[in-house]
Structure 1
Amino acid sequence: MLELIISGIGLGIVLSFVTGPVFFALIKTSIEKGFHAGVSLALGVVISDAVYVAVTLFGSSLLNFENKYRLPIGILGSAILFGIGLYYLLKKVKITYEPIPSSRKNAGYFLKGFFMCIFNPFILLYWISVTSGIYSLNGELKGEQIIPFFGTILITLFGMDTLKAYFAHRLRHKIREQTIQKVNRIAGILIITFALKLVYNLIFTETLI
């Protein structure tokens, strides 16, 4: 069991360096709104990851549903991502260097992280690929091994995102509004590009990547 947990930690650390729209959203939120807001967003992301891990491992009927309705699901997810990207691209930055202690507002960041990932069909494909890679290397896990192994991966991912939020928060007083504006625009362009590529692939190749 200890070897399984150590493997989960190692894989979680490796996966935490895979950057994407969520990475930019986490850094931006931690700089602008504070550490607790960044952690709330990271928690929403890891909960959505847990949902997709459960679907990948146990939800064969849901996977069949996704395969059947991949195009409309993909287009809906792409539209949401496109809207998020456009928001980042056009939003004017005004930094207030005070953390927002309101639990209600932090819950909003949790929902932002959750919905940003749960409506992204690429995340499902990502976890299918990770699970397939694990099984191809280590063989199929036993029932009592699944929760400790994947639980360790998810906890490690959340821990790494928490560290990212902490360091972004600590450095935010040294970061100017112009820098955040550039980060916003880069994030917006990347998210919009990803959304358009997703639609293109769905229509012309019937795949998600």
Structure 2
Amino acid sequence: MSVFLEGTILGFSLALFFGFGPAFFALIQTGINRGFWPGVLLASGIFINDIVIVLVSLFGATSIFDENAKYQTMGIAGGALLIIFGFFTYKRKTQLEVPEDQNMDANSPHPLVYFGKGFLLNTANPFIWLFWISIVMGITSRYGGQKIDLFLFFAGTLSVVYITDIIKTFAASRFKKFATHKFLILINKLAGIALAGFGIFLIIRSIFQF
């Protein structure tokens, strides 16, 4: 299996199970209240911020860890962080506020405001940093710091996450009735279990090196 394809598989997993944090609710609310294109701009800001966080994390990981034993330690630490993140995701409460008047205001924000909001939304969320750092640590331990493989892997991952964010925005602008409180609670619980499971898998793979 190619490295890029493995990255796209992770991207689909992240989008399906782990993509229901604050950024998700912002995308849904923007899609419902403002429409599709403002949601795309918001998703673009989130996407660019994800790239920045991954690059910063990769630079730190490949600069600090240069031995196989240290890559193993990094994989175990990354898995542990994912388990913790999964626990809090499972316990997290959801809130999706949709005003009765869903028409766009005459004084709509400038398009760049949506992009900036998406970028800052991730920057200000420490869990996003923790999440991507833990993913980078685990994947770096898998590929041993090979920069080309890491680039291809995360190119696949981030491109799929971005595309699915756009799909979420489109769905919100068309099928808002499905974004119920009970549904989002269920998604959070499934996401928490899946995230913790992925963390356990990373730890086992790092220990036994398979």
Give the TM-score range, shorter chain. 0.5 to 0.7
Residue 197 (structure 1) aligns with: none
Residue 56 (structure 1) aligns with: 57
Residue 9 (structure 1) aligns with: 8
Structure 1 residue 93: deviation in Å? 2.1
When the two chains are superposed, the root-mean-square deviation of aligned CA atoms in Å is 3.1
Residue 78 (structure 1) aligns with: none
- Asked if 2 retains the 8 angstrom alpha-carbon contact of 1:48 and 1:114, the reply is yes
Equivalent position to 1:121, from 112, 118, 126? 126
Structure 1 residue 92: deviation in Å? 8.1
1:26 aligns with 2:27: yes
Q: Which runs of 5+ in 2 are unaligned?
A: 65-94, 189-210
Identity, % of aligned positions: 36
Deviations 1:17-44 (A, max 9, x none): 3111111111111011001111111111
Q: What is the identity, as a one-letter code, of the residue corresponding to 1:6? A: L
In 1, the alpha carbon distance for the partners of 2:98 and 2:172 equals: 20
Q: What is the identity, as a one-letter code, of the residue corresponding to 1:146? A: L
In 1, the alpha carbon distance for the partners of 2:98 and 2:11 equals: 35
Equivalent position to 1:95, from 91, 101, 112? 101
TM-score scaled to structure 2, two decimals? Answer: 0.61
What secondary structure does 2:135 align onto? helix
- Asked if 1 retains the 8 angstrom alpha-carbon contact of 2:32 and 2:102, the reply is no
Equivalent position to 1:161, from 162, 165, 182? 165
In 1, the alpha carbon distance for the partners of 2:57 and 2:134 equals: 10
Structure 1 residue 96: deviation in Å? 3.7
In 1, the alpha carbon distance for the partners of 2:173 and 2:15 equals: 18
In 1, the alpha carbon distance for the partners of 2:174 and 2:105 equals: 12
In 2, the alpha carbon distance for the partners of 1:98 and 1:165 equals: 16
- Asked if 1 retains the 8 angstrom alpha-carbon contact of 2:34 and 2:104, the reply is yes
How many residues in Structure 1 have an aligned counterpart in Structure 2?
Answer: 149
In 1, the alpha carbon distance for the partners of 2:11 and 2:57 equals: 17
In 2, the alpha carbon distance for the partners of 1:30 and 1:7 equals: 30
Deviations 1:83-137 (A, max 9, x none): xxxxx89x8825344599x7x622111111110111222211111110122234x
Alpha-carbon distance change, 129 to 92 in structure 1, aligned in 2, over 3 angstroms = closer
Alpha-carbon distance change, 36 to 99 in structure 1, aligned in 2, over 3 angstroms = farther
Residue 89 (structure 2) aligns with: none
Residue 193 (structure 1) aligns with: none
TM-score scaled to structure 1, two decimals? Answer: 0.61
Q: Which runs of 5+ in 1 are unaligned?
A: 64-87, 191-209
In 2, the alpha carbon distance for the partners of 1:4 and 1:98 equals: 43
Residue 150 (structure 1) aligns with: 154
In 2, the alpha carbon distance for the partners of 1:133 and 1:171 equals: 36
- Asked if 2 retains the 8 angstrom alpha-carbon contact of 1:4 and 1:149, the reply is yes
Alpha-carbon distance change, 107 to 41 in structure 1, aligned in 2, over 3 angstroms = same
Alpha-carbon distance change, 59 to 113 in structure 1, aligned in 2, over 3 angstroms = same
In 2, the alpha carbon distance for the partners of 1:3 and 1:163 equals: 25
Q: What is the identity, as a one-letter code, of the residue corresponding to 1:113? A: G
